[in-house]
Structure 1
């Protein structure tokens, strides 16, 4: 029996529990130092496994479709930031300044990998191209996201250092483990492929650790005293507007440019998503520790909204025999 479309998945529930735990029992002092060290190791392992799981053959198969990839990257790194900035007069009054900064950070992030590919497959889109587009977005985001943060996130008080200078840290913490995973894939790839369900707990556990440490620091700095319920409600509206705009624009532009049905599905799903797996570790590197909790809160809500909405679209499109 399948899960109802609008029931949160287990990982989303785990995120909620983690935030609640950090709100009630935030880590402090030496415990916080130890948990932060463990978190850094877990994040490195997360990206190592991402590299080991990625099939080079699938990437090569989709890499030649350059027009599709350009459109996905334009949606991810151009359309989203422009939407976040252009809609500021409407969006900013609905949330606090810290949450709006988190929305801008959300707009700079790369696309997801797993869910983009999964939804493309369900909707009968171009899966090899989705693998390539989502993976390219994830890798390019390691360099583009901190640059965009430096350009559009103007509250530098929340940044731990100039965003341009964080590229080196991100490369060491995220890209180097990823490349190591790719290099070792010929040796460990079959084992990784056989144990994807078990390794999923490593993926999710890494994110939960980062969320716990981020929210612990934010709670210690008084996060929930500065985020009223009305701002959280406004954040839901803002995330819904951003996702709806991205879905509508990618669907319309891809159709106007003459892409076939399978390619349009790929463009919509890869070009409208934002990666929680990449975003949370990046926020930890780019922003000061006390600001990370508020920065990642919009991303966590967007993550659940995009999963629910895209699950509906994928199932409906997958059941059709005509054009989207």
Structure 2
């Protein structure tokens, strides 16, 4: 009788379970009145600290070295802020038959959010790709997103996104100013931040949980959750699965068509096909206010989906590279005879 083998890792990221638990807490015990004001102020401060730490972590020398690989970074930025939004606009044809207006608005906002940093690096490393390029590409995308995401939201979402000059100013003060402050303070606190990555990682995740609780509490108090049916949620999952599949294919085969090597293609695929929960949540809370819970729901679902799918792809890429390959003869005729004899097909 065979023993059942438990998986070494759970199929769902434990942090996603914490996010779902935070949503459940907001549904049962939403912050109201003074508590809501305190939670909102605390989340604003936490996100400011988060981006200050981001600024302190990013080495200016690494950033300047990464600029040399400008074609790769331009490709990732184009995928993140051009191709993704175009696909989001194309999905407007699914409204209202497949997606209602609130979910479509959240889906479109999802396509405007910058790429991830940590997971892009982790998956690129797992797949034996160009890790330094992934570090720079993710960092550049996050920095560019502080400006590009609200500008794109103003152009594509307009009034439905709650955009105003004041909201752009709040995003600049909450995200860009702390990031620049972190860069200026890096000389004094950069070493401290680098030595305590694990502890500061808890600050990262804790601040996101606080933003999630605040946003979903506002949604519960305003009663926005009564507008979504399970059928609509199922439709959203299908749309996001198609969106992720299209971007994974475009980044992999498109980068090959552009002449990039395998390691660069791995970095482009993982940095150009994902969206950042850490950057998207605080921006949504500013842009959408009480409706932020609906706006970030597509992003939260996409975030979990991309982690699970990219983990499988990264493992497959590493196995493909590690698999032994038949010897290649320098003689074309001999190579043809070997292929014919073993039944090997090219391509």
Q: Give your verdict on TM over 0.5.
A: yes
Question: Is the CA contact 2:95–2:101 (under 8 Å) kept in the aligned structure 1?
Answer: no
Alignment map for 1:293-304 (pairs within 5 Å): 293-304=293-304
For 1:99 and 1:6, the matched residues in 2 are separated by 29
For 2:272 and 2:143, the matched residues in 1 are separated by 15
- The corresponding residue for 1:258 is 259
Measured against aligned partners, the alpha-carbon deviations of 1:164-216 in whole angstroms (never above 9, x if no partner) come to 55332211100111111122222222221221111111101111111101000
**Residues 3, 208 of structure 1: CA spacing in aligned structure 2 closer, same or farther, 3 A cutoff?**
farther
- The corresponding residue for 1:111 is 115
- The corresponding residue for 2:77 is 73
Say yes or no: does 1:131 pair with 2:135: yes
**Residues 120, 91 of structure 1: CA spacing in aligned structure 2 closer, same or farther, 3 A cutoff?**
farther
**Residues 203, 2 of structure 1: CA spacing in aligned structure 2 closer, same or farther, 3 A cutoff?**
farther
- The corresponding residue for 1:186 is 187
Cα RMSD, aligned residues only: 2.0
Aligned length: 320
Alignment map for 1:35-46 (pairs within 5 Å): 35-46=39-50
For 1:191 and 1:264, the matched residues in 2 are separated by 33
For 1:110 and 1:24, the matched residues in 2 are separated by 31
Deviation (angstroms), 1:140: 0.8
Max Rg structure: 2
Which runs of at least 4 in structure 1 moved beyond 4 Å after TM superposition? 1-6
Which structure carries more relative contact order (alpha carbon 8 Å, separation 6+)?
1
**Residues 91, 114 of structure 1: CA spacing in aligned structure 2 closer, same or farther, 3 A cutoff?**
farther
**Residues 3, 76 of structure 1: CA spacing in aligned structure 2 closer, same or farther, 3 A cutoff?**
farther
Structure 2 gaps of 5+ residues are 324-346
Deviation (angstroms), 1:233: 1.1
Structure 1 gaps of 5+ residues are none
**Residues 281, 295 of structure 1: CA spacing in aligned structure 2 closer, same or farther, 3 A cutoff?**
same
For 1:14 and 1:290, the matched residues in 2 are separated by 22
Say yes or no: does 1:206 pair with 2:207: yes
Say yes or no: does 1:318 pair with 2:318: yes
Question: Is the CA contact 1:61–1:129 (under 8 Å) kept in the aligned structure 2?
Answer: no
- The corresponding residue for 2:33 is 29
Question: Is the CA contact 2:154–2:161 (under 8 Å) kept in the aligned structure 1?
Answer: no
Say yes or no: does 1:10 pair with 2:19: no
Say yes or no: does 1:83 pair with 2:87: yes
Alignment map for 1:211-222 (pairs within 5 Å): 211-222=212-223
**Residues 317, 295 of structure 1: CA spacing in aligned structure 2 closer, same or farther, 3 A cutoff?**
same
Q: TM-score, normalised by structure 2?
A: 0.88
- The corresponding residue for 1:305 is 305
Deviation (angstroms), 1:322: 7.8
- The corresponding residue for 2:336 is none
For 1:203 and 1:296, the matched residues in 2 are separated by 18
